[in-house]
Amino acid sequence: MTRPLVSRRLPDFPWDKLTSYAATARAHEGGIVDLSVGTPVDATPEVAQRALCEAADAPGYPVTVGNPATRQAAIDWLARRHGVTGLGLDAVIPSIGSKELIASLPLHLGIGAGDLIVYPELAYPTYEVSAALVGARAMATDSLTAVGPEVPALLWLNSPSNPSGRVLPVEHLRKVVEWCRDRGTILVSDECYIECAWEGQPPISVLHPSVSGGSFEGILAVHSLSKRSNLAGYRCAFVAGDPALVGELLAVRKNLGLQMPAPQQAAMVAALDDDAHADDQYERYAARRARLRDALVHAGFAIDHSEASLYLWATRGEDCWATVAWLAERGILAAPGAFYGAAGKDHVRVAFTATDERIDAAVERLTAD
C-alpha cells in the first residue's frame, strides 16, 4: 500500500490564497502597500552586524546545545527585561528561528498519533501544522473546560497573540500552568511578541515567578529576535524552561544535527545584550502603529484587542475576504482573519512593519474617502 505524502497531511499554505488580491493591490497607481506579513523592514542593528562579521571565520561545527555565551545571554535578557530568574545553562537551547522550533516541537517531544494538542482559537497556523506533522489530534479552544476529561499531551499559549495582539493576564496564565501540571500536560508558551506591547497590562512570561510559582516544571517558553531586533533574516530564537524538557529536546536535536551557526550565535549574543537598539525600534513601531490605527478608524474599522504584537486586529463587520478585497482596491494588502481560525472570519490582520513611506501611503489612501 502506498503511504500518503507527508505534505498531504498538512494544511494548505494560507498565503497562497492571497495571490489574486496581491495582484489587485500591486496594480494600484501608487504601488502596493503590503501589510499582510509582519516581516521587519528596518536595518539589522549594527551591533549584531559587527558581531556576525567578527565571528565569520567559523570552520568547525557548532554544538547543538549552543555556546555557553549564547545561552547565558538569553538567561540574562529574560532576567533583565522580563523578571525571569533561576534559569541555568541547562534550561536554554538556541534554535534556527522560532517557526522551525514550533513546527517540530511535538515531534521532538515524542508526541504522536492518538495524542491531543490544544492551541488557541485564534492562532498562528504553525501550531496546527505541528500537530498534523506527527498525526496528533488538534483542538482550537480558549476554554480549558471545553477540553473535557481528556488529558492533552501539549497545550500552546500565545501571549501577546498573533494575530489579535491580545495579552493574557497573569491570573489566567497561572491558572493554565496549574491546570497543565495537575494533568501532566506539557505547556509551551509562544512569547515572540513580548517586547511589542503598546497599551494596557504589559505581557508577562509564563516563566515569571508570579506565573510559574518559581518552578519551571512542565513549561517551556519560545522567544525570537526577529521582532525586537530585526533579525528575521538571521533566524535567531531560543527555547527556555524545564531542564528535563530542554534535555529531551537536546537529545533529539543532536541526532538531527539541528545546530545554530556560530556567526549567528555571536550576533544573537550582541543583540540580546544591547537594549538600546530594541528601544529605538519600539519607538519606530509605536509611531507607525498610531498613524495606521487612526487611519483605519477613520475608514470605518473597529480595532479589537491589539494591545501588543506588530498587528492591528481590524474589522468592518463583514466577511474578512470582502475586507481584503476592499483594501486591495486601495493598493493595501492585509491578511484575512480566516487564516487564523474560524474565530477570525470577520477580521483582518494589518501589520505595521512597513517603512514609514509605505505606512504614510496607506494612511493617505485610507483617509482619502
Indicate whether 13 pLDDT > 60: yes
* pLDDT in the model for residue 16: 76
Residue with the larger pLDDT of the pair 74 and 15: 74
Mean pLDDT (the chain) is 95
pTM of the model: 0.94
Cell numbers 480558549 label which residue? 142
Indicate whether 48 pLDDT > 70: yes
d(CA 348, CA 339): 9
> What CATH number was assigned to the domain covering residues 6-43+277-366?
3.90.1150.10
**Exposure letters 53-76 (e unless 16+ CB within 10 A, then b):** eebeeeeeebebbbbeebbbbbbe
Cell, residue 147 = 477540553
Report whether 241 contacts 220 (CB < 8 A): yes
Residues 6+ apart with CB under 8 A from 292: 35, 312, 350, 352, 359, 362, 363
Q: What is the mean pLDDT of residues 55-80?
A: 97
Cell, residue 334 = 492585509
Q: What is the pLDDT of residues 208-254, one digit of tens each?
A: 999 999 999 999 999 999 999 999 999 999 999 999 999 999 999 99
Indicate whether 11 pLDDT > 70: no
d(CA 163, CA 337): 8
CA dihedral sign, ordered 342, 345, 347, 350: positive
Cell, residue 227 = 521582532
Indicate whether 7 pLDDT > 70: no
Instruction: Give 17's pLDDT tier (boundaries 50, 70, 90).
Output: confident
Report whether 94 contacts 71 (CB < 8 A): yes
Q: How do the domains of the chain map onto residue ranges?
A: 6-43+277-366, 46-273
Task: Characterize the bridge pairing of strands 332-333 and 33-34.
Answer: parallel
Report whether 71 contacts 88 (CB < 8 A): no
Q: What is the dihedral of CA 302, 307, 310, 312, to 10 degrees?
A: 0
Q: What is the mean pLDDT of residues 152-167?
A: 97
> Going by CATH, does the domain composed of 46-273 fall within 3.30.360.10?
no
Cell numbers 489579535 label which residue? 164
Q: What is the pLDDT of residues 305-329, one digit of tens each?
A: 999 999 999 999 999 999 999 999 9
Instruction: Give the single-character DSSP code of 248.
Output: H
Residue 333, SS3?
strand
Percent of the chain with pLDDT over 70: 96
